[in-house]
Amino acid sequence: MSRVGYIAVNTFREAVRDRVLYNLVAFALLLSGAAILVGQISIDIERLVVVNLGLTAVSLFGVVIAIFIGIGLVSKEIDKRTLYTVLSRPVRRWEFVVGKFLGLSGTLFVNTFFMAIGVFAALLYVSTPHRFQSSDAWILVALFFIVLQFVILCSLALLFSSFSTPLESAVFTFALFVIGSFAEDLRGFARMSHGLMRWLATGAAYLVPNFSALNVIGQVAHGQPISAHLIAYNTAYALAYSVMAICGAVLIFERRNLK
Amino acid sequence: MTMTGSRKVTVTASVLLLVSLASSVLLLRRLDQLRSHATLEEVLYITSPKWIKRLSLGYDGLMADIYWTRAVQYFGGHHSQGIEEFKLLDPLLEITTALDPKLTAAYEFGANFLAPKPPNGAGQPDKAVALVEYGVRNNPDNWRLYYNLGFIYYFDLKDYTRAAEAFERGSKTPNAHPFLRILAAQMAQHAGEIQMARMLWQTAYASTKDEQIQKNATTHLRALQVDEDVTELEKIVARYQELTGLLPSSFNALIGAGMLRGVPVDPRGKPYKLLPDGRIELRNPDDFPFVEKGLPPGYVAPRPKLD
């Protein structure tokens, strides 16, 4: 295994040791409670609630994990002084950053995988009769997009973590998550502006990550198909954006004085 | 010594935890009794669907489900308490459908909450029409919404022309129920007649697998049967009076005159009552919500139960 691989595996192990995967228990309880309860307090939306709630919970739990683990990836190593040991192995700085990114993304992928099982189990329970429909396959696309969302957030958390304190990183990453949810509104605002404001707004609109395009939960909840074009472009966008953020993290970290 | 001290702390803390938990529960129950008329549910802190959409950070679907559940609980709560004002129902439904325009249950059931007169609904058929029209704009291929629209126009607004138009529009959607075309055609000739109403309720029953809707349709069909029976029986009594100059003393007189084959019974199998003044009444009117004929004078129907 390469040095990047070792860092990635170690990052995953640390996350598991931090009991990150315990959130799966809370998730399972939430989803099973909702699946049982919703039929008694509402009308005709059991499947919708399972899909909407399930996918929203997967997304939000993952966002929280991405931010709170991601912001400490570099700073924790610096505080514990283990970073110097690692870098002296020798592990190059860029290998350290990329390894951390892959490790956290892998953790979130595993987390999402188990949550997906929970979502499909709950869906099977509330469906009448108890079997899947062909339109349920689109839920996998929504989950894939949520994983892409995590990949972007991990890269951003790592970027901020490479130069700022954990608290600042958390605030910046969360702010970008919120602003990214309004990315399409921001581009609309840029189109309506004039002069310098238009340039600034357009720049900001293209710089913030576009999370709204990655959110297809509403569509898949109603069994609507997702176009292959959207899947391809979203994948390419998420990878390009993450590479950009990781490169930024690498550039900053390479020049950072660790003393 | 340390172990004993530690155990004392453990026991004390555990007992205190249980006692304070029990106290919190009891105090909360008491607070609920004191604040039983709390107006929390009568307040919508954010009434703008646009703002709620923004605040949901893209998780519109879940927010719509929450607001729909809130609308159902709001209607059900008011209905079960006999409150006939539903101030927040339309705003809640507006927010729900703005967040998720594809949530067809909100249009179908929401319109049934809004349109009927109290105590069965909010008595706002115009708002029900606006809600379903919004649903039609966002789900133009959903024939059920056109059917709902026609239903509201027919029963609640008595606008038979618009009802026919709605059925006609719906009949052109893909996979439309074949009944829509028949309803549109029949409307021109038989609008306002019992057979039209029967056809509508039979369609409602046949076109759904939802038990609540089927039960509601059955109840209405029974009420229509009673109205028809009472009308026919009173006509027979009037004919008997024309022939004999007297009102029949009982159904046996009509059977003896060859005008009836047996004692007529209502859809639940109980015999109708023939009163000395020639009127026909139900033996137990409470069995038939929505009935308009055969009721004793001054009869007040009990509040319909929401199952």
User: Chain A closest CA to B105's CA: distance in Å?
Assistant: 6
**Close Cβ partners of A204 (under 8 Å, ≥ 6 residues apart):** A186, A190
pLDDT of B306 strictly over 60: no
User: DSSP secondary-structure letter at A128?
Assistant: S
Neighbours of A85 (CB within 10 A): 11
**A178: closest chain B residue by CA:** B57
Sign of the CA dihedral with A164 first, then A167, A169, and A175 last: negative
User: Chain B closest CA to A216's CA: distance in Å?
Assistant: 9
Instruction: Please report the pLDDT score of residue B145 as a whole number.
Output: 95
CB A220 within 8 A of CB A226: yes
CB B227 within 8 A of CB B291: yes
Lowest mean pLDDT among A141-145, A246-250, B26-30, B236-240: B26-30
Q: Given A42, A51, A215, which is nearest B68 (Cβ)?
A: A42
- Tell me the average pLDDT of chain A: 86
Amino acid at A33: G
pLDDT of B235 strictly over 90: yes
User: Chain A closest CA to B60's CA: distance in Å?
Assistant: 7
pLDDT band at B138 (very low <50, low <70, confident <90, very high): very high
Averaged pLDDT, B40-47: 65
| Cβ contact, residue pair B61, A42, below 8 Å | no
Instruction: Please report the pLDDT score of residue B41 as a whole number.
Output: 53
* B133 vs A125, residue with greater confidence: B133
* B183 vs B235, residue with greater confidence: B235
Contacts of A181 in chain B (CB under 8 A): 57-58
Tell me the C-alpha distance between B239 and B236, whole Å. Answer: 5
Contacts of A218 in chain B (CB under 8 A): 60-61, 100, 102
pLDDT of A184 strictly over 60: yes
pTM: predicted TM-score of the whole model, two decimal places: 0.79
Residue pLDDT, tens place only, B171-221 = 999 888 888 888 887 776 677 778 888 888 888 888 887 787 888 889 889
Q: Given B58, B73, B212, which is nearest A181 (Cβ)?
A: B58
Query: Cβ of A44 under 8 Å from any chain B Cβ?
Result: yes
Contacts of A222 in chain B (CB under 8 A): 102
Q: Given A44, A49, A178, which is nearest B57 (Cβ)?
A: A178
Query: Which two structure tokens, joined as six digits, stand for B54?
Result: 């923004």
| Cβ contact, residue pair A42, B60, below 8 Å | no
- B-contacting residues in A 179-198 (Cβ below 8 Å): 181-182, 185
Tell me the C-alpha distance between A207 and B238, whole Å. Answer: 85
pLDDT of B3 strictly over 70: no
| Cβ contact, residue pair A48, B109, below 8 Å | no
CB A147 within 8 A of CB A61: no
Query: Cβ of A45 under 8 Å from any chain B Cβ?
Result: yes
Q: Does domain B43-206 have CATH number 3.40.50.1970?
A: no
A72-86, A205-219, B36-50, range with greatest mean pLDDT? A205-219
- The interface predicted TM-score (ipTM) is 0.80
Instruction: Please report the pLDDT score of residue B89 as a whole number.
Output: 93
Tell me the C-alpha distance between B109 and A43, whole Å. Answer: 8
Q: Given B54, B62, B102, which is nearest A222 (Cβ)?
A: B102
User: DSSP secondary-structure letter at A182?
Assistant: T
Averaged pLDDT, A156-171: 89
Give CATH 1.25.40.10 domain extents, chain B: 43-206
Averaged pLDDT, B79-84: 84
pLDDT of B291 strictly over 60: yes
| Cβ contact, residue pair A53, B65, below 8 Å | yes
Query: Cβ of A152 under 8 Å from any chain B Cβ?
Result: no
Residue pLDDT, tens place only, A231-258 = 999 999 999 999 999 999 989 888 877 7
Instruction: Please report the pLDDT score of residue B304 as a whole number.
Output: 58
**Close Cβ partners of A138 (under 8 Å, ≥ 6 residues apart):** A216, A219, A220, A223, A224, A225, A226
pLDDT band at B307 (very low <50, low <70, confident <90, very high): very low
pLDDT band at B232 (very low <50, low <70, confident <90, very high): very high
What is the 3 state secondary structure string of chain B? CHHHHHHHHHHHHHHHHHHHHHHHHHHHHHHHHHCCCCHHHHCCCCCCHHHHHHHCCCCHHHHHHHHHHHHHHHHHHHHHCCCCCCCCHHHHHHHHHHHCCCCHHHHHHHHHHHCCCCCCCCCCHHHHHHHHHHHHHHCCCCHHHHHHHHHHHHHHCCCHHHHHHHHHHHHCCCCCCCHHHHHHHHHHHHCCCHHHHHHHHHHHHHCCCCHHHHHHHHHHHHHHHHHHHHHHHHHHHHHHHHHHCCCCCCHHHHHHCCCCCCCCECCCCCECEECCCCCEECCCHHHCCCCCCCCCCCCCCCCCCCC
Tell me the C-alpha distance between B256 and B272, whole Å. Answer: 17
